[in-house]
Every structure is written in structure tokens, then in C-alpha cells.
Amino acid sequence: MINPASFACTLSIALFVALGPLSTDMYLPSLPGLAGEFATSAGRVQLTLSLFLAGFALAQIIYGPLSDRFGRKPVLLAGLSLFVIASIACALAVNIEMLILARFLQALGGSAGPVLGRAMVRDIHGPAESARVLSHIGSAMALAPAFAPILGGYMGVYLGWESIFWFLVVVGIFGAALLYFAIGETAPEEFRHPRSIANIVADYGRLLADPVYLGYTLTCTFAFSGLFAFLSGSSFVIIEYFGVNPEHFGLLFMLVVAGYISGTLLGARLSRRLDFLRLVAAGSKLLLVSGATMLALALDQPGHVMSIVLPMMLFMHGVGLVMPQSMAGALANYSHIAGSASGLLGFIQMSVAGLVGVAVGHSYDGSPVGMAFAIASMGLLCLVVYLGLLKRCHHQPRR
């Protein structure tokens, strides 16, 4: 078994957490083509993203309590198994309805990776180190969205969009084998005990009543929703509005991901000197400034794709600062129900992001304005939560 505190274990957890980005980002370049493939609208194709996120959200409030009761490993193995089966169904889809349903089931399985990955980090490293480790995991897993659109773009053009899902089947099988043979259980035995639905609901009520937990959950949520607004609209804006070839989409996407990587690396470096709150404050301000800049440029009817890409790079730098710190801040005081706390955070995060994605998809009018407006709005909301809730709290999570 791999040492839980080792770099190899951290990298393995990063693979589980990366299932979500891989499952969305690899086939982003294929989205415009899928509309023609299945003779449907862009909004309907976008449902394969938004309902994926809905499934991702729903499953997390189930996986969290189950993992607190039975442990992280068996629950994660079950999720990975469902992910593999649903990915096969995606590859075999013959119409958009089948693909939407298969994507929903794929999300139900794949969501076990992020929710239990966060809980495993909290189990192993505790509150003080979890922000730094989550930042490093964020940097490592950013390789997925950095290279996934490039790989997915070329696979979609030369091998067909189905090949993307066959690739995910292989990734899921590899992850399940790695977990089964090389990684031990991380949930403390003393915390694993039978819990009724009433107990679970009461735990969720206590979490939502805690302004620190709620504040960090919402800053994480709005930062991620800004990212998802870009995921939902960028392929249409960049490929259709700016005329970029699908196989080149990933190269531009890599620049955006570079902003995220730089943010997570900076956050990891500063986390030992600055608390969660100060790093979230800096990141939230950057989200607002970069989002507002993108919106102003979009309203001016830009003629160059970098008018969208460069502001999004800065926005993603802010996301890289906010998300790992917010996750660690939300889980810091809840070691006894880390799975439930992580699951509720993920449910709120994915539910809001899914709604934002639907809005971006249905507001697309052939210009980047709708997407830019959504991104700027998420930056504003993130800063509002920091100023109106987190900054007003008189106590900080224990470090």
C-alpha cells in the first residue's frame, strides 16, 4: 500500500479529483459538432454539460454520508465502477437523449472522486496542511483541463467524438485498480458508525447554520461557477464567433489553465504565512476585476480571441487562489463528518454552476456577451460573500 502522506498518494487522489475536469473538458471542442451530428440545438447539446453537473451535485450529498459510515475506499470503488459503465454508454449513444442520460449517470459515478478526494485529504493531513495539499492537487489536476481539450480536439477530429469516452473508460478502470490495490482506507475508524437519515439531515443543518462553513462554501461555489460559465460557452464563442479551428481550441484553453495553475501554486506558497480569509479576499477581488474587464471588452464587439482569453487567464488565477483555500476553510472544523461536509459543499457548488451553465447555453446569441456577463457576475458575488459574510465572522477556522 502507498504511504498515505506520500507524494504518490497525493498524486493518486489528484487523479480521482480530476475525473470531473476530464469528463467535461475533453469533449468541449466537439460540442459544436455534436449539434450537427445529432441534428439538435446548441442549448440541447449544452445539457450534456449542465445535467452532468446536476448528477455530479446530487450524488455528492449521498457519497459524503456513506463514506462517513462505510469508509472512503468502498464508496469510491462503487462510484468508479458506475463511471466506467456510464462512459461506455456515452460512447455508444445514438441520439442526443441517450447521450444526455448517459452523461448524467457518468456524473453520478464520477462525482465520488472529488467529494471523497477532498475528504481523504482532510483525513490524512488535518486542517492546517489541507489547504496546501489541496492547492498542490489543484496544480496537478490542472494538467487535465490543460491538455484534455487539446487531446480531445484531435481525437474528435481524427477518431470521432466517441473515442473521447472510450479514453475515459480506460482512465476509470486504471483509477479503480489503483485504489483497490495500492491505497488504504483513510477515514478514522472511530468516526465510522451507523447514522440515520435524521442524523444526516441534522448535520447538514448545522453546517448551513455555520457562517464560516457557508461563507467558504459560497466563495468556492461562485468561483467555480465563473469557471463553468466559461466551460459552457467558450467552445461556441471561440470556435464559432472567433473562427478558431476545433483542434486549436485546446491551445487557447491551455493559456486559461495556466492562470489557474499559477494561482494554486501561489496559494500553496502563501498558505503557511497567510490564513484562508486573506487569500480568499485577494482572489475574490481579482475575480471581480478580471470578469468586469472581460465584460467591458465583450460589449465592445471584440475582433480578437485574446480579448476573452487574457481576462479569463486572470480570472482563473483568482479561482486558483479562492477554491483550494475555501475548500480547506469549509472542512477545517469538521473532521468527524468530513465526508458530509465535503459532499454538501460539492452539492451546492455543482448545483449553482449547473444553473449558470444552462443560462449561458440558452443566452448564447452568437456573441461572447452572455458568457462574459455570467463570469463577471460570479466574480461580483464571490466578493459580496467575502465582504458580507466571511469578513464579518469573528472567528476563523482552526489552523
Give per-residue pLDDT as tens, 265-311.
Answer: 898 888 778 787 889 999 999 999 999 999 999 998 877 899 999 99
Could you read off the pLDDT of 104-126 as tens digits, one per residue?
Answer: 999 999 989 888 887 888 788 87
**pLDDT: is 381 or 119 the higher one?**
381
Residue 291 grid cell? 470578469
In the predicted structure, residue 399 carries a pLDDT above the cut 60: no
222 vs 236: CA distance, rounded Å: 22
Percent of the chain with pLDDT over 90: 37
Q: Is the distance from CB of 341 to CB of 37 less than 8 angstroms?
A: no
pLDDT of residue 206: 92
- 159/164 Cα distance (integer angstroms): 9
Angle at 120 between CA 140 and CA 280, to 5 degrees: 60
Q: Give CA–CA dist 66/367, Å, rounded.
A: 44
pLDDT at 398 over 50: no
Cα separation, 12 vs 256, in Å, equals 24
Least confident of 60-64, 353-357, 361-365: 361-365
Band (pLDDT 50/70/90 cuts) for residue 128 is low
Over residues 158-180, the pLDDT tens digits come to 899 999 999 999 999 999 999 98
The pLDDT score that the predictor gives to residue 74 is 92
Task: Pick from 52-66, 344-358, 378-392 the range whose average pLDDT is largest.
Answer: 378-392
Q: Is the pLDDT of residue 92 over 70?
A: yes
Measured CA to CA, the distance from residue 225 to residue 104 in angstroms comes to: 19
Q: Tell me 303's DSSP state.
A: S
Q: Number of C-alpha atoms within 13 angstroms, CB side, residue 275?
A: 12
Distance CA 232, CA 337 (A): 33
Mean pLDDT of 67-87: 92
CA distance 104 to 17: 18
Judged against a pLDDT cut of 50, whether residue 242 lies above it is answered with yes
Q: Is 264 or 25 the better-scoring residue by pLDDT?
A: 264
For the four alpha carbons of 305, 311, 316 and 317, in that order, the dihedral sign comes to: positive
Helix H or strand E segment including 398: none
- CA of residue 91 relative to chain centroid, distance: 22
| Farthest CA pair distance, the chain | 60
pLDDT at position 205 is 93
pLDDT at 140: 64
Of 11-25, 166-180, 208-222, the poorest mean pLDDT is in 11-25
CA atoms of 201 and 104, how far apart (whole Å)? 25
Structural domains in the chain?
7-185+194-390 (1.20.1250.20)
User: What sign has the CA pseudo-torsion 386, 389, 390, 391?
Assistant: positive
pTM over 0.95: no
Mean of the per-residue pLDDT values of the chain? 86
Which among 60-64, 318-322, 327-331 has the top mean pLDDT? 318-322
Asked whether 48 and 126 are in contact (CB, 8 A), the reply is no
- pLDDT tens for 46-59 read 788 878 878 888 88
> Quick one: pLDDT at residue 397?
44
Higher pLDDT, 366 or 107: 107
The CA distances from residue 86 to 36, 78, 108, 135, 315, in Å, are: 23, 13, 9, 30, 33
pLDDT of residue 146: 66
Residue type, 327: M
Query: Average pLDDT of 346-360?
Result: 86
